[in-house]
Every structure is written in C-alpha cells, then in structure tokens.
C-alpha cells in the first residue's frame, strides 16, 4: 500500500527511521496536488478542491485500506484527466513510499493522530492522486491531510514552494 509523505517521514527527516525498518524501503520523489501549510512546528497538506470529490476516507484496517487503494486507483484514474492535473498551480513536494505491514500502517495512523471516523482527529487519511517524479506517471496513494477549517483555527500560512524543509 503506497503512502505520500511530505514532512518528517520523508527520507533523512526526523521520523524516517519508522519507514526504514522495511526491507523494501525505497522512497520515490513525487508531487501532490494541493497546498502545504506551516503550522509552526509541523506542516499540513490540504488537497486541491478539484480532487476533493475523488477522495476516499481511510479506515484503521490495513487490509481494507489496501483494497480501497487498489479499487480506487482503477476507478479514479478513469475519471481524472491527468493533463488537467499538470496545469494546477499548487503542488506539494514529497515522496511515495510502500508501506508493507499492518503494524506499520497502524503506527503511521497513530503518529498522525488519525482515528477512522473520529471528527476530532487532527488529520484525515484519504486516497488521492500523485505524480511520480521519476516516471512522470500519476499514481494513487494514501495521504494524511487536514481540512481548511482546522487550518484556519491554527492560523496557518501557506508554504509557497510546497516544500517542508
């Protein structure tokens, strides 16, 4: 199951040791479609409104989330015109990483403060589309995002270049 990471889980960042535990750890540079906001000590990703109608909420079950990703990828790819995605101005730089275990998926949910179905979760876990920077192809992956109402409560500011350094 693929996950798009854009902050401390990226390669050589503070929490990348969590993902490095995997035998198949090989992050791939990728682009997400939306805006990255600075919340002070950490960022958040808000998906571009164009894609909101295509997102699918995650669960806390690895098998279910893996199946959702497979099925959503097939359905969404037929509905989204990738040429339109390439014209969007707001992008977020991150990495696509394969998450190969139920335990690791649960740990990521915990790290991000995500609890399926809980409206008080800081982040939501959704499926969205990303551009693999190595192949220039679009791929589906899970991502932890925040809604604009929560971003406004934090008084967050957009990160113009879409990169959390």
User: Per-residue pLDDT tens for 137-147?
Assistant: 888 888 999 88
Smallest CA-to-CA distance from 72 within 146, 147, 145, 143 is with: 143
pLDDT score for 27: 93
Mean pLDDT of the chain: 81
pLDDT score for 41: 86
| pLDDT of 150 higher than 90 | no
Using one digit for the tens of pLDDT, what is the confidence trace for 83-107?
Answer: 556 656 788 999 999 887 777 778 8
Using one digit for the tens of pLDDT, what is the confidence trace for 70-83?
Answer: 666 655 555 555 55
Using one digit for the tens of pLDDT, what is the confidence trace for 5-39?
Answer: 998 889 988 888 888 887 788 999 999 988 999 99
The answer for residues whose C-beta is within 8 angstroms of residue 149's C-beta and 6 or more apart is none
Please tell us whether the domain made up of 2-158 is placed in CATH 3.40.50.620. Answer: no
pLDDT score for 94: 96
Gap between the Cα atoms of 146 and 36, Å rounded: 10
**What is the pTM (predicted TM-score) of this model?**
0.82
Average pLDDT over residues 40-63: 71
Using the structure block, give the residue that is written with the tokens 């693929």.
2
């Amino acid at each position: 199951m693929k996950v798009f990471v854009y902050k401390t889980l990226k390669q050589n960042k503070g929490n990348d040791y969590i993902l490095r535990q995997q035998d198949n750890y090989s992050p791939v540079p990728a682009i997400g479609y939306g805006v990255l906001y600075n919340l002070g000590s950490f960022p958040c990703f808000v998906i571009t409104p164009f894609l909101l109608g295509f997102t699918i909420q995650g669960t806390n079950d690895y098998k279910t989330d893996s199946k959702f990703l497979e099925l959503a990828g097939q359905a969404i790819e037929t509905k989204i015109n990738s040429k339109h995605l390439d014209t969007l101005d707001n992008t977020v730089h991150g990495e696509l990483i394969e998450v190969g275990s139920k335990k690791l998926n649960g740990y990521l949910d915990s790290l991000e403060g995500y609890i399926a179905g809980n409206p008080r979760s800081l982040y939501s876990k959704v499926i969205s589309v990303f551009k693999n920077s190595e192949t220039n192809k679009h791929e589906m992956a899970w991502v932890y995002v925040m809604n604009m109402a929560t971003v406004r409560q934090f008084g967050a500011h957009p990160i113009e270049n879409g990169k959390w350094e």
